[in-house]
Amino acid sequence: MQIFFIHIGVREGFSGQVKATELIIDGLEEKGVLCSRALLPYFDRTERSSRLMSCLFFLIELLQGYWKLLLKKLPSDGAIHLSLGLTRFALIRDGLALCCAATFNPRSLRRVVALNGSVFTEWRSRSLNAKLFRWVIRQCDVVTCVGHSHRKSLQRLGVPAGKIEVVPNVCEYDGVPEAEVIAKQASSGGPFELLFLSSLTDTKGYPEYLEALEMIARKDGPPIHAVLCGPIMMDAYRKRFDTSIEAKDWIEQKVVSINQSAHIQVEWIPGARGPEKKALFEQAQVFVLPTQYPVEAQPLVIIEAMAHGCAIVTTDVGELPSTVDAQSAVILSLPTAVSVTESIRELLEDDELRLSLGLGALAHFKSKFNREQYVQRWSELIGA
């Protein structure tokens, strides 16, 4: 059997949508399933070239991608998996990609559309976005989402209940032993380890994280080593910065300001993968993601932090309430610099709370986010 995966090709930064697809592919290939992929272009919103030239290059890449999809031949028992973007343009781009891939292939191909965002939960059923969305869904056999509140939103938008399947995300890690969490969360006299890891679009909450560190730096306190990890992303959902240069200058100014403190040091790592990323999670006692990202669903970095027994500070957007609970995270409804500051201080001052949340996060991860079950679930959905 052959499965054909269609998703965006992000040149820089991290995409949870792409990572979720890669985890499916890795798991199915381990089972001996033949997987191939087509990458759709991701529009570059940075200022490295003129907007006209960026649009032109993007359009050329997109047309080339459609042509390759039209020529793609799959066996009759094959399947197409589309990771669907949820902006208005992405609905058109990805819907046309699914049409192209299916045009000269048999209708017996199983067609699965995967949703990794949550912006559709805010659409009105008669809106243009909802109509475009239903047009895409009519072309598929199954649509997956990451939580039950998303299922209800899909049904409200007119998606047949029989087409909807809930498949929570997982991550590449298996979970650390409890003994490692106990040792990590103990106060050892060394600096406390804090971590923010995500693509740096401002609605993910990195400004609130740095502003909180700056507020903590103004008063005496325990030694802290904080990490901001991620590349700057100029996506459609940013609110505070218009260019990557503006965001970069702001971050660098905040880092300099914070590092003037005698007890806090912060470093900005432009990105981490593989062993480097794993080491950051292993060291982190507190993981902070005060996200208000409009299309947030179930961030993989939260699941990764759970797998490493971090005490988590996050929010209630998207499917985060079904991912963490009061026993595994501090959940903020209004993530301001002040509320993030208060949450971090509480965790640093209360060793028992920090340990309890770390162990709670690990236990929740092991019971709910099993990678083997995830791959088996996808095998069944795709018919592998």
Q: Where are the alpha helices (DSSP H) in the chain?
A: 16-30, 51-71, 88-103, 128-138, 148-156, 178-185, 206-217, 244-258, 274-283, 300-307, 320-323, 337-349, 351-368, 371-382
Closest CA to 358 of 147, 102, 182: 182
Amino acid at 375: V
Rounded mean pLDDT of 102-131? 93
Percent pLDDT > 90 in the chain is 78
pLDDT of residue 13 exceeding 90: no
pLDDT of residue 220 exceeding 60: yes
pLDDT in tens, 340-355: 999 999 999 999 999 9
CA 306 – CA 315 distance, rounded (Å): 15
Half-sphere exposure of residue 73, counting CA atoms within 13 Å on the CB side?
A: 0
Confidence category of residue 285, pLDDT binned at 50, 70, 90? very high
Q: Cβ(116)–Cβ(146) under 8 Å? A: yes
Rounded mean pLDDT of 260-271? 96
The predicted structure's pLDDT at residue 296: 86
SS3 39: strand
Question: Which CATH number applies to 2-170+370-382?
Answer: 3.40.50.2000
Distance of CA 265 to the CA centre of its chain: 27
CA 81 – CA 140 distance, rounded (Å): 9
By DSSP bridging, strand 164-166 and strand 224-229 are unpaired
Q: Cβ(241)–Cβ(286) under 8 Å? A: no
CA 346 – CA 349 distance, rounded (Å): 5
SS3 5: strand
Percent pLDDT > 70 in the chain is 96
Instruction: Please count the residues of the chain.
Output: 384
Q: Cβ(337)–Cβ(290) under 8 Å? A: no
The predicted structure's pLDDT at residue 384: 73
Give domain limits for the chain: 2-170+370-382, 178-368
Residues paired with residue 4 on neighbouring β-strands, in sequence order: 36, 80
Q: Which CATH architecture has domain 178-368?
A: 3-Layer(aba) Sandwich (3.40)
pLDDT of residue 372 exceeding 90: no
pLDDT in tens, 83-106: 999 889 999 999 999 999 999 998
Rounded mean pLDDT of 45-68? 81
* Same fold yes or no, 2-170+370-382 and 178-368: yes
Confidence category of residue 236, pLDDT binned at 50, 70, 90? confident
pLDDT of residue 52 exceeding 90: no
314-318 long-range contacts (CB < 8 A, ≥24 apart) are: 314/288, 314/289, 314/290, 315/205, 315/289, 315/290, 315/291, 317/118, 317/291, 317/292, 317/293, 318/117, 318/118, 318/293
Closest CA to 185 of 305, 272, 302: 305
CA 237 – CA 292 distance, rounded (Å): 10
The predicted structure's pLDDT at residue 234: 86
The predicted structure's pLDDT at residue 257: 97
The predicted structure's pLDDT at residue 284: 98
pLDDT in tens, 167-196: 999 998 999 999 999 999 997 778 999 999
Rounded mean pLDDT of 246-265? 97
Q: How far is CA 356 from CA 182, 305, 312, 322, 376, in A?
A: 9, 14, 11, 19, 31
The predicted structure's pLDDT at residue 294: 84
Cα-flanking dihedrals φ and ψ of residue 84, to 5°?
-90, 125
Confidence category of residue 237, pLDDT binned at 50, 70, 90? confident
The predicted structure's pLDDT at residue 3: 93
The predicted structure's pLDDT at residue 228: 98
**pTM for the full predicted model:** 0.84
Cα-flanking dihedrals φ and ψ of residue 267, to 5°?
-125, 145
The predicted structure's pLDDT at residue 48: 52
pLDDT in tens, 14-42: 566 788 888 899 999 999 999 999 999 87
SS3 196: strand
* Angle (nearest 5°) at CA 273 between 235 and 360: 90
